[in-house]
Amino acid sequence: MLYSFAVWLIVKAMRRLIILLALFCAIPGPVTAGAIDDLRALVAGKKFTSAIEAGESLLKQKPQWPDVQFLTAYSYQMNRQTARATDLYQNLIRQHPELPEPRNNLAMIYLANGDYDAASKLLVEALNTHNSYATAYQNLSQIYTGIASEAYRRALSESAEPAKYTHKIELAALTQLEPPEQQNTTVTLASTEPEQSTNSILSQQIELWARAWSNKDFATYTSFYSTEHRPNFQTHSDWVEHRRQRIMRPGFIKIGVSDINVRAENNNRAIIDFKQSFDSPSYSDRVKKRLSFRRIGSQWKITDERVLSVL
């Protein structure tokens, strides 16, 4: 009798031990740097299916980890599973609006779907967040060149076929996150390095703004302006509609900019003077122009636009 009771206790204890071991094995371990490195190695080796599995496993443990989200999204994108990639990129943009890489790669997905307006807008935003990303700048140039080439081809052939230039454009993807360098918030734009960075950002803004205008990429063109910009109009929407009627008229527009001079007033405001050439079938001029910019969130937006003199 005593022996049977002892056996029963041992069996019961073993069952508890088995249950505890099973529970312990079911608890995921912490996301470590080694796990991230393994995921990067899978991506570098183009083993995207394995990278997806590894990435999703890590996301269950730490869903907000930006590096894991980005590498997993990239793997889905390269594996032509763009719906999940889009969700992850959009989530990253919401959580970390300062990162340009998710916008760059998401732009590739939009372009593949024929939405070049959304792709262009994302690339402009990527440049606004970090001006040093040559990849985003080159990708935007590729889109604009493709649009212009297709428009020229159709003009020569008088074809009514829809634009199909997107399949000829190959955008470059970014494969890792590089957070912007930490900046000392006590440093003002009077110091050399921040001023040079701001000058570069705003000079690129002027060039991209002029290019969007020339290409009649109206969505990108108006995205450079603050929603408070409404010169002589009751609302910003009234001004936008007025510009739409002028810019989208039949015929080409060619805008040239030169002698760009950026003057930062403080960390959030700057004035840019430059020479502008405007050519169209019915009108041409050369003027000296001034655009006032204000930093809104992480982006620089035009708040005022005026002609200083006729050249």
| Distant-in-sequence, close-in-space partners of 16: CB < 8 Å, separation ≥ 6 | none
How is residue 5 written in tokens?
């009771």
Q: Do 271 and 263 touch, CB atoms closer than 8 A?
A: yes
Q: Do 304 and 229 touch, CB atoms closer than 8 A?
A: yes
- The answer to whether position 282 is within a domain reads yes
Confidence of residue 157 (pLDDT cuts 50, 70, 90): low
Q: Do 296 and 226 touch, CB atoms closer than 8 A?
A: yes
- The answer to whether position 225 is within a domain reads yes
Per-residue pLDDT, 166: 47
- The answer to whether position 257 is within a domain reads yes
Average pLDDT over residues 22-27: 40
Per-residue pLDDT, 3: 46
Query: Sign of torsion, CA 63 66 70 71?
Result: negative
- The answer to whether position 283 is within a domain reads yes
- The answer to whether position 16 is within a domain reads no
Per-residue pLDDT, 19: 43
Which helix (H) or strand (E) segment is 201 a member of? Answer: helix 192-214
- The rounded distance, in Å, linking the Cα atoms of 78 and 310 is 51
Rounded percentage of the chain residues whose pLDDT exceeds 70: 68
- The rounded distance, in Å, linking the Cα atoms of 263 and 285 is 25
Q: Whole-angstrom distance between the N-terminal and C-terminal Cα of the chain?
A: 112
Per-residue pLDDT, 170: 59
In this structure, how many other beta carbons lie within 10 angstroms of the beta carbon of residue 45?
Answer: 10
Residue 197 has pLDDT above 80, yes or no: no
How is residue 66 written in tokens?
């930006």
Amino acid at 284: S
Instruction: Give per-residue pLDDT as tens, 76-115.
Output: 999 999 899 999 999 988 988 878 888 888 988 988 888 8
- The answer to whether position 120 is within a domain reads no
- The rounded distance, in Å, linking the Cα atoms of 65 and 57 is 12
Instruction: Give per-residue pLDDT as tens, 263-300.
Output: 887 778 999 999 999 998 888 889 899 999 998 877 88
Question: Could you tell me which of 276, 220, 275 has the C-alpha nearest to residue 247?
Answer: 220
- The answer to whether position 298 is within a domain reads yes
CATH number at residue 291: 3.10.450.100
- Specify the higher pLDDT residue, 258 or 133: 258
Average pLDDT over all residues of the chain: 76
State the helix-helix crossing angle for 33-44 and 48-61, rounded to 10 degrees: 160
Domain limits for position 297: 216-311
Average pLDDT over residues 140-169: 54
Q: Nearest 10 degrees: CA dihedral of 125, 130, 133, 139?
A: 0
In this structure, how many other beta carbons lie within 10 angstroms of the beta carbon of residue 256?
Answer: 13
Please list the residues that pair with 293 across neighbouring strands: 270, 302
Question: Could you tell me which of 65, 80, 77, 75 has the C-alpha nearest to residue 30?
Answer: 65
- The answer to whether position 165 is within a domain reads no
Based on the structure, what is the number of domains in the chain?
Answer: 1
In this structure, of 18-22, 50-54, 69-73, 306-310, the range with the lowest mean pLDDT score is 18-22
How is residue 75 written in tokens?
């793997």
